[in-house]
Amino acid sequence: MASTVTPSKKSPEESRHPASSRPGYGQLLRTRGAWTFLLPGFAARQPFAMLTISIVLLVQHTTGSYGVAGAAAAVTGVSMALFAPYSGRLADRFGQRAVLLPGVLVHSLSGLTLTVLALTDAPLWALFAAAVPTGASVPQIGPMVRARWGVKLGGSPLMSTAAAFESVTDELTFVLGPLVATALCTAVDPAAGLVTEAALTLVGGLLFAAQKSTQPRVAGLGDGHARVEHVPALRVPGVRVLAVIFLGIGSVFGGMQVSLAAFTESIGEPGMNGVLYGVFAAGNMLSGLVCGAVAWKATPQRRLLVGYTALAVTASGLWAAQSLPVLAGLGLLVGMSIAPALVTGYTLVEDLVPAGARTEAFTWLTGAVALGQAAAVTIAGQFEDRLWDGAGFLVPMGGTVLALATLVALRTRLATPSRSRTVARGVGHRVPAAVD
């Protein structure tokens, strides 16, 4: 007698993310409600990539000094890196909308104030004073988008694909933003870049904040959900290790920006600076796309170790390049090595950090990249001035090698809670965690 098998009813989570489906960009972008925050999120994060170059071009025009311009931009970057985690913590505790609405207003007003001070030949201390709130109030759109993916996807295998997608989006932003800002500052007015950045931040940020249905729920505020005890993200040992690793990635971005400009200037081909940086960025985007399309069998911890080793090795060869083709090839390899480290680092946050602290954790990592970049710009500039042409490439080498040594020494701190319980109790069962 033939038996009849009744199909088991799938849970809503299984229906959205079927286990048999291979994680991919098509499946990711078909996630219900994703486009409602992706499109405004892309518009809102674009100004962030315009900020540094807009400040440099405006302040250099009004003061005639690249040193002063770089210092003002560095103050903005350091301020952003120091204050971003607190913005993320507030977003986790009170909701993204509650942080974004006042944040975009403060940032827009601060950016316009900095513009006016630069145009009126204000003293250096006044420029620095305005640069602090301008950087401190930069809306953390990227981390907020990543946190929304976490809510949508939960423990789905698509989380790695989402991390790769966001890495590619970030890189595309940092390709388009400087191009738009440079065009505005050179073809329209030196102040046009910063003014446009402030306006886009306001409009894009308000549009993103309006998407209330996709933001992580703030638990414990009378919504019927169990209260999630807030644990500062930096108390998680793995987040501290990842922050050091992302500092090293920031040293690559900052060191490459300064050193490529100095190298092309030294050989009489300044116009090739944009081409070389474009090759570097293209490698990053290409590798990020591949990372999101592959169904990985290796653990994230192993992928991070392998990927970061490749980054340190390729970055260590930059200083020895003596020709444009060699430098372009090495830049492509460095770019291709960055994405795996970024994607895997962001993916690990999902396993290491409680749901109620993930936005803060993402901002710590984003801030670490910004802080590493600001430090690298300053140090690489000094190396180029005081040593030899191309000496600034020593900064990416030093930053990645030190970060790799930290990763190797402290890699056990990146073990996910489920693995820790397996070792301690002998049971491969992950204790359910509260979610937003």
Task: Output phi, psi for 349, to 5 deg.
Answer: -60, -35
Most confident of 5-14, 114-123, 169-178, 245-254: 114-123
| Cα–Cα distance for residue pair 160/153, rounded to 1 Å | 10
DSSP 318-331: GGG--SHHHHHHHH
Q: Is the pLDDT of residue 392 over 60?
A: yes
pLDDT in tens, 71-127: 788 788 788 878 877 777 787 778 888 888 888 899 999 999 999 999 998 888 998
Identify the burial level of 418 via C-beta atoms within 10 angstroms of its C-beta, where 0-12 means exposed, 13-18 middle and 19 or more buried.
Answer: middle
Name the band, by pLDDT with cuts 50, 70 and 90, for residue 294: low
Task: Output phi, psi for 137, to 5 deg.
Answer: -100, 10
Q: Of 156-170, 213-227, 230-244, 377-391, which gets the smallest average pLDDT? A: 213-227
pLDDT in tens, 222-232: 444 444 455 66
| Cα–Cα distance for residue pair 241/410, rounded to 1 Å | 7
- Indicate the angle between helix axes 124-136 and 96-119, nearest 10 degrees: 160
Give Cβ neighbours of residue 161 (< 8 Å, ≥ 6 apart): 23, 24, 25, 27, 28, 292, 293
